[in-house]
Amino acid sequence: MEANMDKYYNPFFIAGRIPPECFCDRDVETKRLTGCILNHENVVLTSPRRVGKTELIYHCFDDERLKDEFFVIFVDILHTSSLRELIMGLGSGVFKKVARHSDKLMKSFASTLRSLQGSFGFDPVNGMPTFNVRLGDITAPEYTIEEIFEYLEKADWRCIVVIDEFQQVVKYREKGVEALLRANIQRSSNSNFIFSGSERRIMDQIFLDAKRPFYQSATNLSMAPIDRSVYVRFAQDLFSRYGKIVTEKGVLRAYDMFEGITAYVQRIMHDAFAETSTGGTADIDLVNSMADRFVEESSRRIREQLSFITEQQKELLYAIHSEGVAKGLTTSAFVKKHRLKSASSVQSATKQLLEMDLITKVGREYTISDPLLKLWLTREIQ
């Protein structure tokens, strides 16, 4: 890390791009992903949610070999439910990152997307097109997506398209979305794709099932939580650069409480740093206090999230939480122990909770997916 940190009021970033000197580890993943980009490979990047996939991608493009060499287009499709919404996100991303780069590319964008020509707006000041297309304007999505890919072929620089939470495409109501995307990607000679996803089970189905269109079409990379000892050194170093101290036990408490999930651990360290004066020490008591405050701040959002699940799903969620690691959910012993309705209702609830990513299945074991939800449930049940 660079010695001069004065420009950062709080070096534990919890939003926006992270400066290289405040980025923790990921040396192996950075080297691997950067190599894939330079070698024009498509990549599947999987990890639990909030471990830092997007931040890793941004970090790679701080490499001097990648700067000013690529158009990087980010499309987050987590909250999309149709091909048209994906096209809206992709089209908007291409417009902002590629078309705006030059007058030539801007004019080419409007002329290439022929299926949307009647839907573009124009800036009255400079007469250039504006992208104010609505979902209803996309009447022929198969043609529109072909036109977007056609446009990417005309870009002055190579394009890297990052589709975040790519597993969402399997939930679209349209049929054949994977095949449509795969066909267009296969014809691309000026673009590469990073398919980022946090639901490993679904991502594996998409890319490792021989019967699916994307089978073996990309290099597989995965991210685990940052090593405990590495994060301890990182946190203590950042504190010390500002004349502050954080105890090893304090950092480990934050790490273990949130199971190494980067976004959460960073949040606790961010808050602990803010509460510690120059020359002061952040200890385990302060970390516990910051964690309690964070859980309380998250309470309303979690309650709202749980309001969308049924009573039977909640009962199963509470049962899995009480077990920590649950097995044999449909066995008579488990159903009876937790006073659940029936094995068939548990089977149905399990399927729904998995689809909502509220629980995770590894082998025959089930756990609560989100450590923040675990902490909240523990507090509520006590």
- Identify the CATH number of the domain in which residue 140 sits: 3.40.50.300
* Alpha-carbon distances, residue 33 vs 55, 152, 225 (angstroms): 12, 22, 17
Q: Which two tokens stand for residue 313?
A: 């799903």
Q: How many domains does the chain have?
A: 3
Question: Does residue 72 lie within any of the structural domains?
Answer: yes
Amino acid 168: pLDDT: 95
256 and 174 share one domain: no
Q: Tell me which H or E stretch contains 270.
A: helix 262-275
176 and 259 share one domain: no
Amino acid 5: pLDDT: 56
Amino acid 148: pLDDT: 96
Question: Does residue 332 lie within any of the structural domains?
Answer: yes
The pLDDT profile of the chain, 382 residues, written as one tens digit per residue, is 444 556 678 999 998 889 888 899 899 999 999 999 999 999 999 998 899 999 999 899 888 888 788 999 999 999 999 999 999 999 999 999 999 888 899 889 988 998 887 667 777 787 777 788 888 888 899 999 999 999 999 999 999 999 999 999 999 999 999 999 999 999 999 999 999 999 888 999 999 999 999 999 999 999 999 999 999 999 999 999 999 999 999 999 999 999 999 999 999 999 999 999 999 999 999 999 999 999 999 999 999 999 999 999 999 999 999 999 999 999 999 999 999 999 999 999 999 999 888 999 988 999 999 999 999 999 988 6
- Please, which residues bridge with residue 219 across strands? 43
Amino acid 43: pLDDT: 98
- What is the C-alpha to C-alpha distance for residues 225 and 53, in angstroms, rounded to an integer? 11
- Please, which residues bridge with residue 245 across strands? 281
48 and 165 share one domain: yes
Count the helix, strand and coil residues of the chain and give each as a percent rounded to the nearest 5. Answer: 55, 10, 35
* Alpha-carbon distances, residue 122 vs 97, 101, 132, 205, 359 (angstroms): 18, 17, 9, 43, 47
Question: Does residue 21 lie within any of the structural domains?
Answer: no
Question: CB-based contacts of 61: which residues, under 8 Å, 6+ apart?
Answer: 67, 70, 72
Domain final position from 191, 222, 253: 222
- Asked if 346 contacts 340 with a C-beta cutoff of 8 angstroms, the reply is yes
Backbone angles phi, psi at 369, to 5 degrees: -70, -40
pTM for the complete prediction? 0.87
- What is the C-alpha to C-alpha distance for residues 50 and 56, in angstroms, rounded to an integer? 11
260 and 345 share one domain: no
Could you list the residue range(s) of the whole structural domain that residue 337 is in?
309-381
CA angle 360, 330, 347 (to 5 degrees): 65
Residue that has been written with the tokens 């573009």 in this structure: 120
Domain final position from 248, 280, 304: 304
Amino acid 161: pLDDT: 97
216 and 263 share one domain: no
Amino acid 318: pLDDT: 96
| CATH code for position 345 | 1.10.10.10
Domain final position from 279, 304, 329: 304
Amino acid 130: pLDDT: 78
Question: Does residue 356 lie within any of the structural domains?
Answer: yes
